[in-house]
Structure 1
Amino acid sequence: MTERQRRVQPGRLRDPETGEWNRKEIWHYLRGWVAVAVALAVVFGGLWFVGTRAWDAWQEFRTAEDYEGEGAEQVQIQIPTGATMRQIGDLLAEADVVSSADTFVRVANSRSEDAARVQAGTYSMLTRMPAAAAFERLLDPAFQVRDMIQFREGQRLTEQVALMAEATGIPAEEFTEVVTNRIAELGLPEWAPADNAEGFLFPDTYELPTDRTALSVTRLATTHFSTVANELDFANQAAASPAENPYTALIMASVLEREANRQEDRYRVARVFYNRLAEGMPLQSDATIAYANNITGRVFTTDAERAIDSPYNTYLNTGLPPGPVTSPSRNALDAALHPAEGNWLYFVVVNLDTGETEFNDTYEAHQASVNKLQEWCQTQAPGRCQ
């Protein structure tokens, strides 16, 4: 074998004697490995592509049925009265709270006893929630958005109408129509007059209904009045009281609500007024004068206001006014039914800060109490007693 032949012997990368590289063999080997690497890259790239597409398809399938995670953005969902789980699921799916209404319904059906606890109302939810998490939120009162309205003790009907209109966005005229011309629909006691709803909207805090109307909102308070009246056995107790009938007792309670600063004093103020009625004396109630003049926020009235020509003017007229002047509290209703025992004919608040009130049998003693009030006004609260 010649020297040249030995150097180029196939399969040898280097000459064993000289150590020279066989460039032809090196290129042959490299070309083979490159081909293998390319083949492997094609295989693994294909596997990666197929795997990625398969994973994406699986995730798409999963999220088409249900979302994962904790949810995304805040959103409020309103569930109407009487909605079925299917209808609730549709509402949630439309708002993107759940991915599938079917999945939500399956969750609800698997927990049928809990599903019965889901109430109508507005709920704070998250978009893209798992169906089970959305269902749990509907069971948790902490996530229910409560729309409330509060009637305070001693408010008159016009104030309550304005409050209902503001709280609901329903025009005040619609509430006025209800309390003026639709009184028969308010569920009032049978002894209530057919033409006057004043005094029958019980002062309390109420949750506004989802499907609200002027009638449904007003009925929240009138229905509660009937409940309280039944609890007090108001009609029967009134018949046995100095009022002699429930509507007269309601009128008396409405006056007591504004005239007595402290609850414990209302029973004695009731006795003063009943005694004055028995004596044929005018009540001389500033609460009725305020009602006749449509004024609020003041304790005292002026001579001009007390001269108004109105059946509610208890300075000029004897007897009770023709109707309630406020919505009385439960305490005032009870005081009208159960006045304290006593011979008092007069009372006056002698300290507007504490509500301290003095009761007297004679006009002379009453004037002494009035002087005490005037002294307190001059030294403690100039301008408040105007």
Structure 2
Amino acid sequence: MELRFESNPDPGRWRHRRDEGKGRSVIAFVMVLLLVGALGAGGWYGYDRFAGRFLAADFDGPGTGEVIVEVKKNDSASAIAETLHGAGVVKSTRAFVNAANENPDSTGIQVGQYKIRKEMKASDAVLALLDLKNKYVEGAVTIPEGWTKMQVFTELAKASGLKYEDFEKAASDITKLGVTAAWLKRTDGKKVDKSNIEGFLYPATYELPKNATAEDILKLLVKNFNAEMKKLDFEAKAAKLKISPYEALVAASITQVEALLKVDMGPVARVLYNRAYSGDFPCGCLQLDSTVNYWLRLNGKQGKSSEKLTIDEMHGEDNPYRYNAPGMSIGPISNPGEVALTGAIEAPKSDYFFFVTIDAKGTMAYGKTFDEHNANIQIACRNGIPIC
């Protein structure tokens, strides 16, 4: 696949003959006037289309939402760029072509449809097209990172024609679906609930077998989970942290929800470990809105922002995911992907007990003390993050 803009096939055609110079100068002047008039009439819309095609404008963040795009046979980088720009994935075609040229693996982009995010940084868009997990197959179902089991059951029911309740029933004993005994232990004395499949529904795109039962489909997802855990050497690396693989899975599920950027997955997981296991955090608890909101969703309610959570919702004794529940959370709160899982088992050592998102890009700031945390919150407020 050609990864550069096609060069002018006939450079000589732009050369002027001497006897045409004056006439062409007049024509050029008129064209400039017409262009200025068009820009005045077209305003920002015309400029934006021009910038999108010829300037290397780029998005900063990891993207949002989802869109399906198609890479066709013999598509050049510029053709792919046009497709992505038209779908709102990249901010400019030039940014994508530049990113493709800078990534030698981009020649491996395959023909097909991809489900990727809109408003992505161009270099991330290249990586998204190289990741076969993003390939879209008609009739298949895609499980994104961070979805809860409720969301997964809903999507599987829609794709398979089965009922939501079929998946609830099939998930009542995870050991019958392929979850091994190694995942049923904890080092902190808490019990693993064998009826809770949260965390084991590995995010990926699955082509569902025809006439498959809910049990068949869940076994397919758990089988993929087991394969990915083996690749990551998850159990052995969790043991080096002196925790069970299940506790590391719980941490990964929380990290998936709390952190936006790849660079923060490990550090956020370490904060969770410091709070739950170090003995140096006053309550020895997690104190997270995300776990409280998971409990609300389990009970058919909507999640809430921090300032709207009630005292009872945060601290109610009937809520095992409550704000001050001691130690690591009783179970996963989402189904984490590879990056969050890796962060949980390769969490870099630190003395941090606090983290907070401080800008629209998802940048995290960390603190050892509550005073440092408050200072980071003020930074977030100045950046327009609605947490004050």
TM-score (norm 1): 0.57
> SS of the counterpart of 2:182?
coil
The aligned residue for residue 197 of structure 2 is: 197
The aligned residue for residue 365 of structure 2 is: 358
In the TM superposition, what is the alpha-carbon distance from 1:284 to its structure 2 partner?
1.3
Computing the radius of gyration from Cα coordinates, the structure with the larger value is 1
The aligned residue for residue 289 of structure 1 is: 292
Distance of 2:387 and 2:351 partners within structure 1: 28
Task: Verify the 8 A CA contact 2:286 2:329 in the aligned structure 1.
Answer: no
Task: Verify the 8 A CA contact 1:292 1:310 in the aligned structure 2.
Answer: no
Task: Verify the 8 A CA contact 2:291 2:323 in the aligned structure 1.
Answer: no
In the TM superposition, what is the alpha-carbon distance from 1:301 to its structure 2 partner?
5.8
Distance of 1:159 and 1:296 partners within structure 2: 13
Which of 335, 340, 351 lines up with 1:343 in the alignment? 351
Amino acid of the structure 1 residue aligned with 2:227:
T
Task: Verify the 8 A CA contact 1:291 1:312 in the aligned structure 2.
Answer: no
In the TM superposition, what is the alpha-carbon distance from 1:166 to its structure 2 partner?
1.0
Distance of 1:334 and 1:252 partners within structure 2: 11
Amino acid of the structure 2 residue aligned with 1:313:
Y
In the TM superposition, what is the alpha-carbon distance from 1:314 to its structure 2 partner?
4.6
Which of 167, 170, 177 lines up with 1:178 in the alignment? 170
Kindly report which structure 2 residues correspond to 1:87-106, keeping only aligned pairs within 5 A, or say none: none
Alpha-carbon displacement from aligned partner over 1:180-205 (angstroms, at most 9, x marks no partner): 1x423211132234332111010111
Give the count of matched residue pairs. Answer: 235
- Cα RMSD (Å): 2.2
The aligned residue for residue 64 of structure 1 is: none
The aligned residue for residue 129 of structure 1 is: none
The aligned residue for residue 216 of structure 1 is: 216
Distance of 2:273 and 2:377 partners within structure 1: 21
In the TM superposition, what is the alpha-carbon distance from 1:323 to its structure 2 partner?
0.9
Task: Verify the 8 A CA contact 2:286 2:324 in the aligned structure 1.
Answer: no
In the TM superposition, what is the alpha-carbon distance from 1:211 to its structure 2 partner?
2.7
Distance of 2:318 and 2:383 partners within structure 1: 32
Which of 335, 351, 354 lines up with 1:327 in the alignment? 335
Kindly report which structure 2 residues correspond to 1:52-131, keeping only aligned pairs within 5 A, or say none: none
The aligned residue for residue 34 of structure 1 is: none
Distance of 1:312 and 1:291 partners within structure 2: 11
Mark the CA change 1:147 to 1:206 in structure 2 (over 3 Å): closer, same or farther.
same
Distance of 2:387 and 2:164 partners within structure 1: 34
Alpha-carbon displacement from aligned partner over 1:95-132 (angstroms, at most 9, x marks no partner): xxxxxxxxxxxxxxxxxxxxxxxxxxxxxxxxxxxxxx
> SS of the counterpart of 2:358?
strand
Are 2:264 and 1:261 equivalent residues in the alignment? no
Distance of 1:264 and 1:160 partners within structure 2: 26
Distance of 1:198 and 1:148 partners within structure 2: 21
Distance of 2:260 and 2:320 partners within structure 1: 21
Distance of 1:160 and 1:301 partners within structure 2: 28
Alpha-carbon displacement from aligned partner over 1:6-48 (angstroms, at most 9, x marks no partner): xxxxxxxxxxxxxxxxxxxxxxxxxxxxxxxxxxxxxxxxxxx
In the TM superposition, what is the alpha-carbon distance from 1:223 to its structure 2 partner?
0.8
> SS of the counterpart of 1:354?
coil
Amino acid of the structure 1 residue aligned with 2:263:
E
Alpha-carbon displacement from aligned partner over 1:214-235 (angstroms, at most 9, x marks no partner): 1111122111000011111211
In the TM superposition, what is the alpha-carbon distance from 1:325 to its structure 2 partner?
0.8
In the TM superposition, what is the alpha-carbon distance from 1:302 to its structure 2 partner?
2.9
Percent identity reads 29
In the TM superposition, what is the alpha-carbon distance from 1:165 to its structure 2 partner?
0.7
Distance of 1:298 and 1:311 partners within structure 2: 16
The aligned residue for residue 250 of structure 2 is: 251
> SS of the counterpart of 1:192?
helix
> SS of the counterpart of 2:355?
strand
The aligned residue for residue 160 of structure 1 is: 152
Are 2:154 and 1:151 equivalent residues in the alignment? no
Distance of 1:282 and 1:246 partners within structure 2: 19
Distance of 1:269 and 1:154 partners within structure 2: 15
Amino acid of the structure 1 residue aligned with 2:316:
I
Alpha-carbon displacement from aligned partner over 1:260-309 (angstroms, at most 9, x marks no partner): 11111011111111111212432112211111111567664634032333
Task: Verify the 8 A CA contact 1:283 1:314 in the aligned structure 2.
Answer: no
Distance of 1:346 and 1:192 partners within structure 2: 28
In the TM superposition, what is the alpha-carbon distance from 1:342 to its structure 2 partner?
1.5
Task: Verify the 8 A CA contact 1:292 1:308 in the aligned structure 2.
Answer: no
Instruction: Name structure 1 gaps, 5 residues minimum.
Output: 1-144
TM-score (norm 2): 0.57
Distance of 1:301 and 1:231 partners within structure 2: 41
Distance of 2:213 and 2:258 partners within structure 1: 34
Task: Verify the 8 A CA contact 2:293 2:303 in the aligned structure 1.
Answer: no
Instruction: Name structure 2 gaps, 5 residues minimum.
Output: 1-136, 185-193
Task: Verify the 8 A CA contact 2:182 2:245 in the aligned structure 1.
Answer: yes
Distance of 1:327 and 1:370 partners within structure 2: 28
The aligned residue for residue 308 of structure 2 is: 302
Distance of 2:387 and 2:349 partners within structure 1: 30
Mark the CA change 1:255 to 1:270 in structure 2 (over 3 Å): closer, same or farther.
same
Task: Verify the 8 A CA contact 2:250 2:331 in the aligned structure 1.
Answer: yes
> SS of the counterpart of 2:181?
coil
